[in-house]
A = this chain, B = another copy of it.
Amino acid sequence: MLIVLKQTATEADAELVKKKIADTGLKPLYLPGEEKVVLGAIGDERKIAKLELQSLDFVERVVPVLKPYKLCNREFKSEKAIVKVRNVEIGGNEVTQIAGPCSVESEEQIVSTAHAVKKAGAKILRGGAYKPRTSPYAFQGLEEEGLKLLELAREETGLPIVTEIVSEYHIDVVGKTADMFQIGARNAQNFRLLKAVGGTKTPVLLKRGPASSMSEFLMAAEYIISEGNPNVVLCERGIKSFFTETRNTFDLSVIPLLQKETYLPVIGDPSHGTGVRDLVSPMGCAAIAAGADGIIVEVHPEPEKALSDGFQQLTPPQYEEMTKKMAAVAKAVGRTSASLEL
């Protein structure tokens, strides 16, 4: 931790900070500059963070040297993790394809979609039973009925299931069905929910919040891991920016950046990342070229009849076409990705 003092700070001020640092058991350092004094503290920065030194009027800035995340930090565990969802691996050489409808709507809809996406190369089925919607007047999901339909689709196809959990209350009911919990973007900093899924062993697909920095995103993962569940997969799904001609700004650079910072697998969601059907396929390919460990896509047999997000869902033939392209790009970057042809 480095502490930059204001130009007006006195020697007594510097002594006070040095004493505070020493009192935590860390070793203080003193760096006199020509205009400003900088102090340093060697050791576990969390101890210094608790001092809230930035609240002192003569402190200009506190600059952390170490990263606030420990358990998911690649500096301490260099080989990439592989997260297993039943028999499917995320984080290995294969780019894992995940697909399915935004919401589970009916038996026919989910089962037929499951068959279609499996045929096209998907290894995990997505589908929302509990839907967080901006409007209370919008379709909120089939809830428990939706979970049963997901189980049915799994029986029929063998695809493991990832489905969203929106409340601590649902740990048991959703946990019974889900092979992987999804934490949605709006709950990206719902720390109680993060702790709750952290208390299970079920893998977690953690979506980035629309306003989450990389550090906030990794600290959310840290909440889950610090409760005992190391099976976290990160998902970039677009952030908010001034640019509103796409639904979100799909921040692909964060994928290789995250892979420098953490050993956790990182996947991309071009459906929410763009919100524009025609962009889903090129941006899914781009995510793979950027190094994504998986791609999650919304697919619906009849998007124009979907109860949610119809405008960004692909039809099964469109998805088939997309997986072929993604497989070619994966190969170009030295990886594999399943598609109809493989």
Contact = CB atoms under 8 A, between A and B. Distances in A.
Contact of A252 (B215, B250, B305): B250
A340 interface: no
A287 interface: yes
Measured as residues with beta carbon below 8 angstroms from the partner, the interface class of chain A is 35 or more
A242 B239 contact: yes
State the copy count for this chain. Answer: 4
Interface in A300-342: 303-311, 313, 325, 328-329, 331-333
A302 B42 CA distance: 26
A305 B16 CA distance: 13
A168 B138 CA distance: 21
Contacts of A308: 52
Interface in A4-33: 4, 7, 29, 31-33
Contact of A282 (B167, B289, B309): B289
A329 B279 contact: no
A104 to B, nearest CB: 16
A223 B136 contact: yes
Interface stretch (A60-68, A92-100, A147-155): A60-68
B245 A249 contact: no
Given A135-B219, A187-B190, A274-B253, A311 B52 contact: yes
Interface string A127-164: 00000111111110000000000000000000000000
Q: Which 7 residue pairs spanning A and B have beta carbons closest together?
A: A55-B310, A52-B310, A211-B211, A186-B189, A328-B332, A289-B289, A286-B290
Given A50-B139, A213-B244, A332-B332, 12 more contacts: A54-B311, A241-B249, A246-B253, A256-B279, A256-B282, A260-B278, A282-B291, A285-B289, A286-B289, A286-B290, A325-B332, A328-B333
5 contacts: A33-B66, A35-B66, A166-B190, A253-B274, A286-B289
